[in-house]
Amino acid sequence: MNDEAQNTMGTPTPEELREQVERTRDELGQTVETLAAKADVKAQVKDKTGAVKEQAASASAQIREKTAQAAQLIKDRTPDAVQEKTAQVAAQARERAAQAKRYAAEKTPDPLLEKADRAATVARSNRTPLIAGGAVLIALLLIRRSWRRNR
């Protein structure tokens, strides 16, 4: 029995074994890469988040476009007389608000305006104590309310 006879009977040659080992390594590498991709939750979440962001941006753009179209359609269908009247009413409302502001400024005594201005300035410069005081007040009111409910 020689080596060639054994090879034809089913025993692989060293070259065949090397090829088989190489194929097995390639298959194993591909399997490992596939499993690693499935196990990479962070990348999957990132991909899905990107897809959701794109969908949201697309939906938002569509909504803006439809809203603009609807507004234009309403404007086109609204008679000019109504649009003019609406513009007049809006202008009158702005003018009356400005008049009320001027009237209030004229009728308010100067010392009161100065005190209000100083109080606003102090409040803007010392927000932290005001916020803390407000939080304490809210906490006390909540505690008081819970005591009343428990009675």
Nearest residue to 135 via CA among 145, 147, 146, 127:
127
Supply the pLDDT for residue 9. Answer: 62
Assess whether pLDDT exceeds 90 at residue 92: yes
Supply the pLDDT for residue 96. Answer: 92
Assess whether pLDDT exceeds 50 at residue 122: yes
The pLDDT-based confidence of 47 (bands split at 50, 70, 90) is confident
Question: What is the rounded distance in angstroms from the CA atom of residue 137 to the CA atom of residue 142?
Answer: 9
Polymer length in residues for the chain:
151
